[in-house]
């Protein structure tokens, strides 16, 4: 079943598990790259090496899946259920309905992923396999899970180790934002380190050409994720000062059949800069576009209805006057629009709110 641009392969505690088509690219890359090693370890296997190599790619997928499922289960246990588990080109990720409320909960959710892979690697290492294909698959299970565990334990966002680092700074400073910024910069350092390793700058055994290219790609991804984490943290720091009340443009409501002349007069009397047209039920329906209104000839303003030069208010683009901070941003993101109608507790129109004004205030 297709979902969110991928294939829904199951559910865990209510969250869909989605396999993105991009995973098949990494599966093909692993299959081609690992086949020669299989041929060396299993003489005479011939073309079967590609089949075994594909099984290794599937094991890598399952290792990532176990990792993400561990996150989902832990998040459910601490009261922040997962929204989705996604497997894609870069491995996978688990998204959540909301952020964890405390450092220790964030730490629990983060550490269980690498621990789950470490446990699988340990159990696989106990399996007896004398040689041949079985030995290759056992070693692949051990190595892939060790890789997933160690890589995700690196101390920088968006990796799990970065979440733990973030929680540590959060716990010590009492400020989550400081933790996010510190872990974001640490993530950038990890990205630079991986790129340096790939390019032979870091004093470590230089990887092969294929591995080097892959490391550079991963480093770019980590840099982007870490940079986004820093941006979001800075946004969170500024968000509390943003409010619908402070950013609204005063507006006056007019009836659905009001002419442009009547609407302009009502706005002038009320000292408002915006006009909101109500529907027949008295609900906000459209916002008059001042540019289009100015283009109506003077002799026709008494004939043209205000709604004819107004833009329809999208569904959900009506916000309460008391919304502020992250609650305001989350509400706007839940109903994307360029402009919103602001109403008071009684549902009366008091103004309009432009997304650009909110974004500028946050920046």
* pLDDT computed for residue 235 by the predictor: 79
* pLDDT computed for residue 307 by the predictor: 94
CA distance 288 to 281: 18
Give tens-digit pLDDT for 322-362. 999 878 887 887 788 999 999 999 999 999 999 999 988 88
pTM of the model: 0.71
The b-or-e profile of 110-134 (16+ CB within 10 A means b, else e) is: bbbbbbbbbebbeebeeeeeeeebe
* pLDDT computed for residue 4 by the predictor: 52
* pLDDT computed for residue 231 by the predictor: 86
* pLDDT computed for residue 2 by the predictor: 41
- Domain spanning 244-362: which superfamily? CBS-domain (3.10.580.10)
Name the residue among 103, 220, 238 with its Cα closest to residue 172.
Answer: 103
* pLDDT computed for residue 252 by the predictor: 97
Residue ranges covered by each domain of the chain = 1-153, 161-238, 244-362
* pLDDT computed for residue 271 by the predictor: 95
**Residues of the chain with confidence (pLDDT) below 70:** 1-5
Q: Is-contact 320 340, C-beta < 8 A?
A: no
Phi, then psi, of 200 in degrees rounded to 5: 80, 10
* pLDDT computed for residue 5 by the predictor: 67
* pLDDT computed for residue 203 by the predictor: 84
* pLDDT computed for residue 1 by the predictor: 41
């Amino acid at each position: 079943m297709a979902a969110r641009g991928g294939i829904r392969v199951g559910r865990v505690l209510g969250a869909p598990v989605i396999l993105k088509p991009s995973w098949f690219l990494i599966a093909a890359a692993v299959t081609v790259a690992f086949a020669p090693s299989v041929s060396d370890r299993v003489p005479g296997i011939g073309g079967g090496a590609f089949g075994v190599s594909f099984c290794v790619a599937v094991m890598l997928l399952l290792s990532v899946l176990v990792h993400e499922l561990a996150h989902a289960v832990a998040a459910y246990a601490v009261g922040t259920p997962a929204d989705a588990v996604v497997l894609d080109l870069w491995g996978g990720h688990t998204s959540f309905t909301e952020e964890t409320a405390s450092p220790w909960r964030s730490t629990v959710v983060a550490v269980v992923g690498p621990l789950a892979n470490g446990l699988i690697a340990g159990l696989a290492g106990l399996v007896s396999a004398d040689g041949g294909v079985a030995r290759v698959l056992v070693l692949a299970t051990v190595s892939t899970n060790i890789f997933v565990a160690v890589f995700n334990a690196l101390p920088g966002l968006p990796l799990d180790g970065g979440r733990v680092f973030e929680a540590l700074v959060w716990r010590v400073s009492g400020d989550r934002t400081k933790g996010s910024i510190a872990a974001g910069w640490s993530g950038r350092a990890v990205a630079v380190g991986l790129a340096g390793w790939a390019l032979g700058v870091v004093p470590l055994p230089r990887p092969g050409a294929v591995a080097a290219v892959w490391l550079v790609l991963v480093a770019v991804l980590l840099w982007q994720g870490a940079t986004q984490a820093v941006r979001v943290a800075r946004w969170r720091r500024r968000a509390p000062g943003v409010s619908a009340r402070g950013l609204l443009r005063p507006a006056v409501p007019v009836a659905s059949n009001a002419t442009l002349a009547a609407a302009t007069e009502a706005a002038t009397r009320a000292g408002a800069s915006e006009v909101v047209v109500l529907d027949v039920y008295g609900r906000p329906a459209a916002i008059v576009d001042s540019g289009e209104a100015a283009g109506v000839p003077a002799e026709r303003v008494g004939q043209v209805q205000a709604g004819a030069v107004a833009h329809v208010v999208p569904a959900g683009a009506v916000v309460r006057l008391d919304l502020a901070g992250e609650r305001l941003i989350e509400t706007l993101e839940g109903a994307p629009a360029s402009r919103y109608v602001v109403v008071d507790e009684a549902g009366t129109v008091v103004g309009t709110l432009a997304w650009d004004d909110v974004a500028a205030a946050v920046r």
